[in-house]
Amino acid sequence: MKGNEEAIALFLVCLFSIAAAAAAIDRNKFPADFLFGTSTSAYQIEGGYLEGNKSLSNWDLFTRIPGKIVDGSNGDVADDHYHRYIEDVELMHYLGVNSYRFSISWSRILPRGRFGQINQNGIKFYSNLIDALLDKGIKPFVTLNHYDIPQELEDQYGGWLNPQIQNDFGYFAEVCFEAFGEKVTYWSTLNAPNLVIKMGYMKGEYAPGRCSLPYVSCPSGNSRTEPYLAAHNVILSHATAVDIYRKKYQRKHGGFIGIIMAANWREPFTDTPMDRSAASRALAFEVPWFLDPIIYGDYPPEMLQILGSRLPIFSIEDKQKLQTKLDFIGVNHYTSLYAEDCLFSQCDSQSTLEGYGFAYTTGEKDGRFIGDNTGVNNFYVVPSGLEKMILYIMKRYNNITMFITENGFGQDGSSNPSNEIRKELLNDRKRVEFHTAYLSSLLEAMRKGADVRGYFIWTLMDNFEWSNGYSKRFGLYHVNFSSQERTPKLSAKWYKEFLQSSAELCTKADGDVKPKLVAQ
């Protein structure tokens, strides 16, 4: 950025800091040891899809199926983070975050799952990344699995559909604890399995792309049964990994282990008992679906009532395994939607609402949206939804520790925008407003007693957004996907400013702003 442009951008940041101060959010309102970071995931940023003896993941194959990714793209190169991780750690150092949430590519570490060797190139890559982070005072917050699994596991036994994956996941987890555990305090077993299971086995929109009518037509799958089988194996895979961590590593390494859930809020469409019950069913079919078994040993009553024997049963042995529970819940929160009753009321396409607790969700009521729209369909800006979601988890799970592991604002932007569009994308005032408002909502939940210990912005830099390809941009940094150049957006400067809480810099914002931004 040219000096002039930078001064203007900084001036804008200062205006927003003042607005932020007015809304009473600054870094000092949060505990000193609160984690503030950015989030990413392996497949979305790494690229290097066949380098260092990595094998193909199920996403490497899924992205090749015509029509699955809106712009026909894939993660072969993505942000080329595999080669640029040093530069990317610098970007975070510039922001001043004290933590970084990333995931490990299973197929880089164990190209053939349990059926082959540990790939030392993969171990080396993540060791180097972790060392580079620690060197800058940034704590690694590691997710073992964020969607991508070795394709070999799909081919050999059907991936999450087969109980065998519990042992495979346990093995993978143990290899990671052994290799990185001394340097990692925060482990998450899985990222948003509730989303990946619905998208992968009910709607066919994520790998492995299985589904059936009346939901959606796919070459294979069963939308009415497979999601529940796959989820069952995910839950027990989580328990297997936690069991290994508790028995062999936790005392030695002094770390914590949890799971991350997609946790968007559901607001009753009308303030009636029927819609209130629909909203609570909709939530139960998302978050307690996984957390009730992990924390209380069985599926939520809201699901048992509707699905009955279609939900797999936890054996005595399984329940034993589930005793290990977890240390924290990671909350990925983007938006809120209305939920409308379709259990007692007649609705369109009712049969496909079973998997959502017979709740119809919509962002619109009487011609008005639930919040301002963003660049992503059905993602509206509803800051109070974060507080409600946190308090819901706090109450249902006895004040368990939480981290906000993802919260972010998506912009609509092609992989190769014109100069003019690029300028707009860089001047992401709405993203700054989004985070300011959501952080206030988070503070409110904490004032009400919620034990939240960290907040991670999705995401560090624009990347491969799954079925949206490169068409949606959530980054604090803009990425030119041809040159791989990273450019800080206004929001990157705002985050840096917020983390410094350098009030002196901005209170003097009378046009004579002395940028103290570190040169890139």
Name the closest residue to ligand NAG (Cβ): 449
The yes or no reply on residue 117 touching ligand NAG (CB under 6 A) is: no
- Rounded least distance, CB 151 to ligand NAG, Å: 17
254 vs 449 by CB, closer to ligand NAG:
449
Catalytic annotation present for 406: yes
Helices (H), 136-192: 151-157, 164-180
| 515/14 Cα distance (integer angstroms) | 11
3-state DSSP percent of the chain in helix, strand and coil, to 5? 45, 15, 35
| DSSP single-letter state for residue 248 | I
Cis peptide bond N-terminal to 300, omega within 30: no
Residues 354-413 within binding reach of ligand NAG (CB under 6 A): 399
What CA–CA distances, in Å, run from 304 to 182, 301, 391, 419?
41, 5, 24, 53
- Rounded least distance, CB 413 to ligand NAG, Å: 11
The yes or no reply on residue 128 touching ligand NAG (CB under 6 A) is: no
Residues 332-351 within binding reach of ligand NAG (CB under 6 A): none
CA-based nearest residue to 294, from 356, 232, 377: 232
The yes or no reply on residue 214 touching ligand NAG (CB under 6 A) is: no
Report the alpha-carbon angle 403-404-410, nearest 5. Answer: 160
The yes or no reply on residue 451 touching ligand NAG (CB under 6 A) is: yes
124 vs 247 by CB, closer to ligand NAG:
124
| H or E element at residue 325 | none
CA-based nearest residue to 326, from 258, 233, 239, 247: 258
Task: Indicate the burial class of 247 (C-beta count within 10 angstroms; 0-12, 13-18, 19 or more).
Answer: exposed
What CA–CA distances, in Å, run from 488 to 5, 77, 238, 395?
12, 21, 36, 39
The distance of Cα 359 from the centroid of its chain, to the nearest Å, equals: 24
The yes or no reply on residue 424 touching ligand NAG (CB under 6 A) is: no
Cα end-to-end span (Å), the chain: 9
- Rounded least distance, CB 137 to ligand NAG, Å: 25
- Rounded least distance, CB 448 to ligand NAG, Å: 7
Report the alpha-carbon angle 221-223-226, nearest 5. Answer: 70
Part in contact with ligand NAG (CB under 6 A); list of ranges 57-65, 124-132, 241-249, 479-487: 479-487
Residues 19-58 within binding reach of ligand NAG (CB under 6 A): 52-53
Catalytic residue among 226, 302, 406, 433: 406
- Rounded least distance, CB 365 to ligand NAG, Å: 32
CA-based nearest residue to 35, from 455, 408, 380: 455
The yes or no reply on residue 121 touching ligand NAG (CB under 6 A) is: yes
- Answer for which of 182, 252, 449, 518 binds ligand NAG (CB under 6 A) is 449
- Rounded least distance, CB 115 to ligand NAG, Å: 14
378 vs 480 by CB, closer to ligand NAG:
480
The yes or no reply on residue 422 touching ligand NAG (CB under 6 A) is: yes
87 vs 451 by CB, closer to ligand NAG:
451
Residues touching ligand NAG, count (CB under 6 A): 11
- Rounded least distance, CB 475 to ligand NAG, Å: 15
Q: Which residues pair with 362 in a beta bridge?
A: 338
List contacts with ligand NAG (CB under 6 A): 52-53, 121, 399, 419, 422, 449, 451, 480, 482-483
Query: Which residues carry out catalysis?
Result: 406
